């Protein structure tokens, strides 16, 4: 079965992709930093970024909420000591964080721009390459989006996007930005997407496609569950065993998820791959996806994903995984039909 894989003769590194219809280019794999400042210390982060950049990676996704700003500070330190700032595409966010110990969404103009000012200070840079609204908030969307315009016009952000928006929210925001010349068009949406979380296919993926926006998929390996390491319990060194992250993993430790993990593991065994690699490839090659965002905590966790550019899953495996996780991906089916028509 391993012979069914499409594989190049040598490791060519991580390729770059355009983000939607914009001029922004990013690596086809992004490095997430949610664990930085907690489970990943500065030394570990330095090693991660060095290896990532060595393999051709450019996209690093962060947020003020990650480690209470610690993740951004670590990136700022790394760009002064280990890699050049212009080697990275830095994406950060605004509008969500911990205030007085509580998770708070504040997407008002002042809160958004205050967040950006703080991000730039921690990152030790005069601009971010992609600035994203972290979540839909109670502030009028016109006010939130005006903050994005200010960020771009002032040079503090090169491009702007949204995170965790559902379909109608993406459509509303994107259409508003396109309605008047001079507003900053949204180039991307970031949402959870994996074999354990396919809801994005219903409305989010079509909305992004309709507005020529790219898709960044967070937790492409199902919050770590699709590695298979939770099949016989919760390992002591896993995120699921940590009090501050157990809530993040627990939703996928139920019977349906176990059945999906078993299917992914069987596919991986037949292909000579690790389950997590199969899960990542399924997301990476799904219609509309610009780049999966991998929250690796160590270089050892990152390494298996760095030489997959010339590896694709066989169509029968993709179809089988689609079936076991909810049915055909309509966009994938449409793409196959179109390809068959033009051949």
Catalytic site positions? 66
The three-class DSSP label of residue 176 is helix
E strand spans, 156-199: 157-163, 186-192
In this structure, are residues 220 and 284 in contact, taking their beta carbons and an 8 Å threshold? yes
Q: Can you read off the two tokens belonging to residue 257?
A: 């998820």
The helix (H) or strand (E) run that includes residue 31 is: strand 30-32
The three-class DSSP label of residue 262 is helix
Q: Which of 227, 224, 256, 254 is nearest to 240 (CA)?
A: 224
The three-class DSSP label of residue 154 is coil
Q: Which of 205, 203, 172 is nearest to 188 (CA)?
A: 205
Burial label, 252 (beta-carbon count in 10 A; 0-12, 13-18, 19+): buried
Measure the CA–CA gap between 311 and 195, rounded to whole angstroms.
18
């Amino acid at each position: 079965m391993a012979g069914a894989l499409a594989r190049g003769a040598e490791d060519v590194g991580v390729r770059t992709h355009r983000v939607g219809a914009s001029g922004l280019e990013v690596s086809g794999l992004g490095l997430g930093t949610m664990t930085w400042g907690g489970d990943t210390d500065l030394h570990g982060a330095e090693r991660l970024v060095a290896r990532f950049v060595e393999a051709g990676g450019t996209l690093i996704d962060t947020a003020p909420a990650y480690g209470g700003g610690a993740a951004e500070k670590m990136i700022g330190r790394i760009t002064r000591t280990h890699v050049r700032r212009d080697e990275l595409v830095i994406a950060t966010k605004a509008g969500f964080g911990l205030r007085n110990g509580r998770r708070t969404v504040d997407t008002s103009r002042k809160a958004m721009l205050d967040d950006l000012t703080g991000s730039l200070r921690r990152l030790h840079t005069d601009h971010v390459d992609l600035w994203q609204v972290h979540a839909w908030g109670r502030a009028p969307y016109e006010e939130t989006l005006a903050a994005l315009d200010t960020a771009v016009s002032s040079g503090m952000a090169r491009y702007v996007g949204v995170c965790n928006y559902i379909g109608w929210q993406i459509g509303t925001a994107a259409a508003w930005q396109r309605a008047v010349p001079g507003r900053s068009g949204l180039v991307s949406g970031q949402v959870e997407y994996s074999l354990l979380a396919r809801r994005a296919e219903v409305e989010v993926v079509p909305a992004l496609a309709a507005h020529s926006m790219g898709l960044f998929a967070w937790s492409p390996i199902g919050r770590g569950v699709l590695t298979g390491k939770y099949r016989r319990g919760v390992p002591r060194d896993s995120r699921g065993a940590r009090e501050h992250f157990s809530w993040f993993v627990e939703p996928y430790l139920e019977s349906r998820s176990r059945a999906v993990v078993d299917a992914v593991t069987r596919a991986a065994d037949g292909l000579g791959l690790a389950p997590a690699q199969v899960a990542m490839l399924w997301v990476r090659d799904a219609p509309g996806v610009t780049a999966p965002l991998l929250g690796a905590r160590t270089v050892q966790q990152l390494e298996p994903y760095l030489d997959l550019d010339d590896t694709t899953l066989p169509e029968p495996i993709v179809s089988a995984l689609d079936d076991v996780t909810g049915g055909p991906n309509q966009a994938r089916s449409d793409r196959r039909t179109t390809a068959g028509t033009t051949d």
